[in-house]
Structure 1
Amino acid sequence: MSMKHICGVLAAGAVLILAQPALADVKAGVDAWQQGDYVKAVAIWQPLAQSGDPDAQFNMGQAYKLGRGVKTDPSAAIDWYGKAARQGHARAEDNLGLLMFQQGDRAGALPYLQRAAERGEPRAQYIVGTALFNGDLTAKNWVRAYALMTRASESGLAQATASLRQMDKYIPQDQRNQAVAMARSIGQQNSSLAADEPRRPAPVMREAPAPVRSAQLPPSASSAPRTAEPAPRPAPAKTAAAKPPEARPTASKPALPKPASGGWRVQIGAFSAEARARTLWTQLSAKVGGLSGYQPYIMTSGGVTRLQAGPLASSADATRLCSAIKAAGAECMPKKM
C-alpha cells in the first residue's frame, strides 16, 4: 500500500462545517455564507479572525480552501487552520492535517492526522491506517492499521472497505481478531470524546465527502505471499482487547467437515453494509473451530450484502457447519450452488 495513492483527500466536495457560535458577528457571517454571499461573510469574519476568534479563523480557513469570497489559497487556509488549532479548535486541526497531507507535507501532517484519527475522522483513519500498514513515516503496526481501516470502513468510506479486502491477504487471522477488538475500543473512545467536546451549533451546510483514491496494498518490499514477509509484533496498545480464545471442538461435539470442493455453501447472514459482514466473519472465525479454513464469500446485490462460506461437498456437511455456527450465536442456512 503506497502513500502515493492517497493524494486528493480534500479535493472538491470535502466536508464543509462552518463554526457559528453565539457571537453575533460570527453568526452574521455564517448567515451571509448560507445565503451565498461569500464576500460579505469573509468581510465579517476577517477582522474577528485577526483579533483571535478561533471560530472565525476556522471559517476563514474554509473560505480559502474552497475559494469562496476569496481566491483559493491552500497556504492561507493552512495558516488560518493552524491559528485556530493552536487554540484547541478540533475541527480546524482535522482540516489542517488533511490539507497539509494533500499539499505534500506528509511528515508534518502526520501528527495532526493521528489526533484526528483518534477523534474518529474517517479520512484521517484511512491515511494513518495506510501509513501503519506500510511502516511509512511511522513504525509498522498491522493490528492498529486494520483497526483504523475498519473504523473508516464502518463510517461508510468505500476506499477503506476496498483496502480492508486487500489487507486480508497479508495480515494473519489472529492479528485481525485483535484489530476488531481494538476497533470496538476506538469507537467507544470516539463516542466519549464527542460527548466531552464543547457543544457548538449545528453546521449550516455539508457537502458530500471527497473521494479518497484507493491505496495499493501489496507490501512495499515485495509482492510475495504473506509467508514471505512475517507480520511484525505490534507494541501492546492500551486500546487493544485480549485476543479471544479459539473455540476447539470437543469429543462430545460432532467434528466439522473439512474444507473441500463441492456444490454447497452456508449463508451466515445478510447485511446493509459490507463492513458488518466482514466483522462477523472475523468474530465467528475466532469462535468456531475450523471455520477459518473455509473461503468467505461476500456478495453485494440490490443494496444487500450476503456472507457465505464454503465450498462444502454435501448437504450433510453444510448442515453440520451451520450447527456449529448457530451454536456460536449466528444465523446460518445451507445453500445449494
Structure 2
Amino acid sequence: MGIGAMSLWNSTWLGGALLSIAVSIAMPAAAQSVRDGVDAWSRGDYPAAIAQWEGPASEGDADALFNLAQAYRLGRGVPMDLARAEDLYARAAAAGHLRAADTYGLILFQDGRREEALPYVVAAARRGDPRAQYLLGIAHFNGDLVERDWERAYALLTLANADGLPQAGPAIAQMDGFIPLEQRQAAAGLARQLQAEAEAARSVELAAADLSVSEDDRARSPEVVAARDAVQQARVATGTASPADAGASFAQAERPASVTTPAPEPTRTVAAAPARPSARASGPWRVQLGAFGVPGNAERLWTRLSSRPEIAGRERLLIPTGRVTRLQAGGYASRAEAQSACNSLRRVGQDCLVTRN
C-alpha cells in the first residue's frame, strides 16, 4: 500500500540547497589553489575561481572537483551544464568527498536511476542527513527498492522531522493513518538508536577532517576553519541574502526551505542578536563543534564562533579523547534546545552534532 502524495520520485531539492565550502587540505599546492579559488568566488570573480580549481581537479583533487561541479550546476563562471556537473560530482564522490556523494545520490534519484542512487541515500541517511532519511523512510514504507518496514520508516521520518525537514511532518501525518500505534511507539526507540549511530558517524567524520592536516599544514589551519562560515561572506559577495543562490560557499545540499527553489531575496543587512549568557547554563545537553587532532584548531574555532547567538554565553568544553580533542558548547537544557542551535549553525556552514553529558 503506497501513499501517492509521498511518492519517492517526485521531489526536486537540489536547486534550493544550502551550500557550504570545500577546502582541499590533502596537498599543499592544491590546497592553496582551492583556497584561492574560494576567495575569488567570494569576491564574485567566478572565472578566476574556475581557473584556480581546474588544475587541481584535473589531478583528482576531491574538493576542486566538487567546487567545479557546483559552478557548472549554478552556471557561474562557466555555462550551466548539468551533465558536466553530474560527472564532476561522481568523480568527487569516487575520490571520497562525502558531500559530493550525497548530492550525486540525489541527482541520480531525481533522474529516475533509483537502484544506482540507493547506496548513496542509505549512506547519507546513516550519517543523519534528513533528506536521505526522508527518502529512505518513504522507501521502507512503500517497500520500494528496500524491504517494507513501517517501524523503520516511521523512525526515519521522525528524525527528518526533528531536524526541520518540512516535507517530513505531512508524511508522518499520512503514515499515522496506516501504521499501528504499537509500531509507532516502537519506532521512537529505534529513532533514538539511529540518532546515536548518526552522531557517532558524524563525530568520526569531523575528527577525520582535522586529522588529515599534517604538521606542515598547521599554519594554514585557521583558513581551513574559516571556510566553515564562508556562507555568510558569500551572501554579501554575490549580492543576495539567499544561501541557496550564494554559490560561493559550495556544496552541501543541506536543509531545503521548500521542495521548489525559492526566488532570490533582496539584499538586506540583519543585525545579529545580542549575545547573552544562557539562563540555563547547567543543562546536560551539548553541541559538539568538532574533533581536532591539533588542539589549537579547537581554540581558534571557539574564538570564531563564541559570539554567535547559538552558543554565546555557553560553557566551552575541550574533551581529550584518544588522538583528538572534542570541542563542545555546554549548558543546553534539552535536546530540542541543543538541536535548534545546531540546526542554525549548520545553515551557515558549521557542522555540528548534539550530544549529552
TM class by shorter chain equals 0.5 to 0.7
Local SS of the residue matching 2:159 = helix
CA distance in 2, matches of 1:213, 1:59: 23
Which whole-Å deviations, capped at 9, do the CAs of 1:107-140 have from their partners, x for residues lacking one? 2211111111111111111111111111112221
Alignment of 1:175 with 2:175, yes or no, is no
Larger CA Rg, structure 1 vs 2: 1
Q: Identify if the C-alpha distance between structure 1 residues 162 and 144 changes in structure 2 by more than 3 Å, giving closer, same or farther.
A: same
Structure 1 residue 210: Cα displacement: 2.9
Local SS of the residue matching 1:31 = helix
Q: Pick one of 66, 83, 102 that aligns with 1:58.
A: 66
User: Which residue of structure 2 lines up, in the alignment, with residue 45 of structure 1?
Assistant: 53
Q: Identify if the C-alpha distance between structure 1 residues 32 and 7 changes in structure 2 by more than 3 Å, giving closer, same or farther.
A: farther
TM-score by length of 1: 0.60
CA distance in 2, matches of 1:10, 1:213: 6
Alignment of 1:10 with 2:13, yes or no, is yes
Local SS of the residue matching 2:161 = helix
Structure 1 residue 5: Cα displacement: 6.2
User: Which residue of structure 2 lines up, in the alignment, with residue 204 of structure 1?
Assistant: 230
CA distance in 2, matches of 1:185, 1:27: 38
Is the CA contact 2:13–2:259 (under 8 Å) kept in the aligned structure 1?
Answer: no
Is the CA contact 2:47–2:77 (under 8 Å) kept in the aligned structure 1?
Answer: yes
Structure 1 residue 212: Cα displacement: 5.4
Written as runs of structure 1 = structure 2, the 5 A alignment for 1:151-300 is: 151-197=159-205, 198-199=208-209, 201=225, 202=228, 204-205=230-231, 207-208=243-244, 209-211=255-257, 213=259
Q: Pick one of 85, 90, 96 that aligns with 2:98.
A: 90
Is the CA contact 2:7–2:138 (under 8 Å) kept in the aligned structure 1?
Answer: no
Written as runs of structure 1 = structure 2, the 5 A alignment for 1:143-154 is: 143-154=151-162
User: Which residue of structure 1 lines up, in the alignment, with residue 287 of structure 2?
Assistant: none
Q: Identify if the C-alpha distance between structure 1 residues 124 and 9 changes in structure 2 by more than 3 Å, giving closer, same or farther.
A: farther
User: Which residue of structure 2 lines up, in the alignment, with residue 299 of structure 1?
Assistant: none
Which whole-Å deviations, capped at 9, do the CAs of 1:254-290 have from their partners, x for residues lacking one? xxxxxxxxxxxxxxxxx989x99xxxxxxxxxxxxxx
Structure 1 residue 192: Cα displacement: 1.0
In the comparison of the two structures, how many residue pairs are matched? Answer: 219
Is the CA contact 2:16–2:258 (under 8 Å) kept in the aligned structure 1?
Answer: no
Which whole-Å deviations, capped at 9, do the CAs of 1:219-266 have from their partners, x for residues lacking one? xxxxxxxxxxxxxxxxxxxxxxxxxxxxxxxxxxxxxxxxxxxxxxxx
Local SS of the residue matching 1:52 = coil
Is the CA contact 1:9–1:211 (under 8 Å) kept in the aligned structure 2?
Answer: no
Q: What amino acid sits opposite 1:204 in the alignment?
A: A
Q: What amino acid sits opposite 2:13 in the alignment?
A: L
Local SS of the residue matching 1:171 = coil
CA distance in 2, matches of 1:147, 1:56: 36
Structure 1 residue 6: Cα displacement: 4.7
More helix by share: 2
Is the CA contact 1:18–1:204 (under 8 Å) kept in the aligned structure 2?
Answer: yes
CA distance in 2, matches of 1:272, 1:190: 17
TM-score by length of 2: 0.57
Q: Pick one of 85, 98, 102 that aligns with 2:110.
A: 102
Structure 1 residue 54: Cα displacement: 0.7
Which whole-Å deviations, capped at 9, do the CAs of 1:77-118 have from their partners, x for residues lacking one? 221111111122111111110122122222221111111111
Is the CA contact 1:9–1:123 (under 8 Å) kept in the aligned structure 2?
Answer: no
Q: Identify if the C-alpha distance between structure 1 residues 101 and 59 changes in structure 2 by more than 3 Å, giving closer, same or farther.
A: same
Is the CA contact 2:165–2:256 (under 8 Å) kept in the aligned structure 1?
Answer: no
Is the CA contact 1:29–1:45 (under 8 Å) kept in the aligned structure 2?
Answer: yes
Identity of aligned residues (%): 42
User: Which residue of structure 2 lines up, in the alignment, with residue 327 of structure 1?
Assistant: none
Q: Identify if the C-alpha distance between structure 1 residues 65 and 203 changes in structure 2 by more than 3 Å, giving closer, same or farther.
A: farther
Q: What amino acid sits opposite 2:231 in the alignment?
A: M
CA distance in 2, matches of 1:213, 1:86: 28
What stretches of structure 1 of length at least 5 have no aligned partner?
215-270, 277-337
Q: Which has the higher contact order (CA 8 A, sep 6+)?
A: 2
Alignment of 1:27 with 2:35, yes or no, is yes
CA distance in 2, matches of 1:86, 1:172: 41
Q: Identify if the C-alpha distance between structure 1 residues 166 and 5 changes in structure 2 by more than 3 Å, giving closer, same or farther.
A: same
Written as runs of structure 1 = structure 2, the 5 A alignment for 1:58-137 is: 58-137=66-145
Structure 1 residue 13: Cα displacement: 2.1
What stretches of structure 2 of length at least 5 have no aligned partner?
26-30, 210-223, 233-242, 245-254, 261-334, 341-357
Q: What amino acid sits opposite 1:175 in the alignment?
A: Q
CA distance in 2, matches of 1:29, 1:150: 39
